[in-house]
Structure 1
Amino acid sequence: MSEPLFKGFGDKALPFLKALDFHQNREWFLENKELFEAHLYEPLGDLVEDLIARFEKAGLPFKGDRKKSQFRIKRDTRFAKDKSPYNRHLSALLSPDGSKWTETGCFYVCVGLEDYRGCYAAVAWWQPKGELLTAMRKSIVTKPEKYRAMVEALRRNGLELRDSDRLKRTPRGFDDVTDADLIEALRNRSFVVRHAIDPGAITAPELADDLFDFALRSRPLIDWGRSIEGTLVTEVATL
């Protein structure tokens, strides 16, 4: 058996982010760039590669690249009120096509300060647009047993479907729905399960095992979304 690629984040990973939160200037970052790369950037790349290999073997639709899947620690502040030049977290996203910018089911991992994002992972259909979101909502109404079975399977796996940015009103065209759980689902902008990561555990190689287990437990959500996405592909193919 080959030795696991991911050895854990460096012990200075979170202390670096705390110091960066205090300094927030290019000069300090450049002076400490080697520390950033050794304790955060390269370990996250190792984690990405480790998980990609595991996901492929398990048939989970999450692909990526050790570099391209990572989000930049430097912020785009052009339209932000907070003009701090650097994020207080480092994160990566894996998706079916390997892109970071996708509305299909994705896997996200973040290492950060608790006051900002914290350490966590998520599997999500994140803000699906247009046809896909409409198809999901129609499926919830026309096939409620499948939606409820997915939610129950997640619950048995210790996960809860949630959306912190849910609509306040039921979307137009679904006003006749009366079941409380379906109304709540219809108001979702995203379909997300989240897994908290113990900050004290990020330096251990077992973090990869923990995240892989989480992804496996999230499979009911992945499969539910993919089945709906598949109906759209079929409809287009028959036109």
Structure 2
Amino acid sequence: MEGAFKGFGPKAIPFLKALDFHQSREWFLENRDLFEKELRDPFGDLVETLTERFAAAGLGLRGDRKKSLFRINRDVRFAKDKRPYNRHLSAILSPDGTKMEQGVFYVHIGLERCFADVAWWQPEPALLLAMRKTIATQPDKFRAVVKALKKNSLELETEGCMKRMPRGFEHISEPDLAEAIRNRHFVVQHVIDPAGIHMAELVDELVDFTVRARPLLDWGRAIEGKVPEK
């Protein structure tokens, strides 16, 4: 198909390294064509190819090359670090194609690492509370999700979890449930080999990951559907 993802360009990561070294608007403008050819345009192809594949798999995730990509520019208004450019480029595919939804697919191509997440990231308070209550009151269902993810070689990330139990859940004593309730996010992650970003097969890899992460998507969506809208 027209615009099908064929891989990121061979200079995608070298471009990010050079941009990180220069951190200069003048350098970026001089090399904008390289950015677009090697990194941005292939990323747009990846988003739109994944949108078609996710639709075929019934995953309920979509995006497009204009709305889904995050800017390479950093927002430095309130940051101590005033470097103007990120060390990565990333994108989100979501149920409605915007960056405002929960239960999303996120892909990140960067200098430190390349990875993809399926995530309920920083859900708003009512949804997070509903997720925690579901874990506490329906532990068997939650454990079934964890078991299904483990069977698919995935596990929930625990980075950034609260050190203490949130108010109202102090009575939960089972270690696995307590750990889950302390989460601020519900995320599974797939590490991408940087050598593989240059090949069209990256699409198959990311679709396979997202299919394996479906138990988390389905669990969160069932809870989200019962949270009253504001």
* TM-score of the pair, normalised by structure 2: 0.97
Q: CA deviation at 1:3?
A: 7.4
Q: Specify which of 108, 133, 137 is matched with residue 138 of structure 1.
A: 133
Give the superposition deviation at 1:4: 7.7
Superposed counterparts of 1:13-28, under 5 Å: 13-28=12-27
Secondary structure at the residue paired with 1:161?
coil
- The match for 2:144 is 149
Q: Distance between the aligned counterparts of 1:147 and 1:193, measured in 2?
A: 15
The answer to whether the aligner puts 1:105 opposite 2:95 as a matched pair is: no
Determine whether 1:11 maps to 2:6. no
Who is 1:196 aligned against? 191
Query: Stretches of 4+ moved more than 6 A in 1?
Result: none
- 1:9 deviates by 0.2
Supply the distance in 1 between the matched residues of 2:2 and 2:16 (Cα, whole angstroms).
29
Aligned-partner residue type, residue 121 of structure 2: W
1:133-156 Cα shifts (integer Å, max 9, x gaps): 111001001100010000010001
- Aligned to 1:224, the other structure's residue is in SS state helix
> Number of matched residues?
229
Which residue of the other structure, out of 147, 153, 157, is the alignment partner of 1:162?
157
Please say if residues 3 and 45 of structure 2, whose CA atoms lie closer than 8 Å, have aligned partners that are also in contact.
no
Amino acid at match of 2:31: N
Structure-2 residue corresponding to 1:220:
215
Cα distance in 2, alignment partners of residues 27 and 203 from structure 1:
27
- Aligned residue type for 1:25: S
Distance 1:28 1:229 in 2: 45
Give the whole-Å Cα distance in 2 for the aligned partners of 1:6 and 1:65: 13
Alignment of 1:42-57 (within 5 A): 42-57=41-56
Structure 2 letter corresponding to 1:57: A
d(CA) in 2 for partners of 1:16, 1:190: 32
Give ranges in structure 2 of 5+ residues lacking alignment.
Answer: none
- CA root-mean-square deviation: 1.2
Q: 1:146 & 1:215 partners in 2: Cα distance?
A: 20
Separation in 2, partners of 1:152, 1:4: 38
Distance in 2, matches of 1:95 and 1:163, equals: 22
2:187 is aligned with 1:185:
no
Following superposition, the deviation at residue 59 of structure 1 comes to 1.1
SS of 1:91 mapped into structure 2: strand
1:81 is matched with which residue?
A: 80
| One-letter amino acid matched to 1:33 | R
Q: Any gaps of 5 or more consecutive residues in structure 1?
A: none
Assess if the C-alpha contact under 8 Å between 2:89 and 2:109 holds in 1: yes
Distance 1:44 1:119 in 2: 13
CA distance in 2, matches of 1:160, 1:206: 24
Q: Which of 200, 207, 213 is residue 202 of structure 2 equivalent to?
A: 207
**Counterpart for residue 63 of structure 2:** 64
Matched, 1:173 2:168: yes
Give SS of 2:44's match.
helix
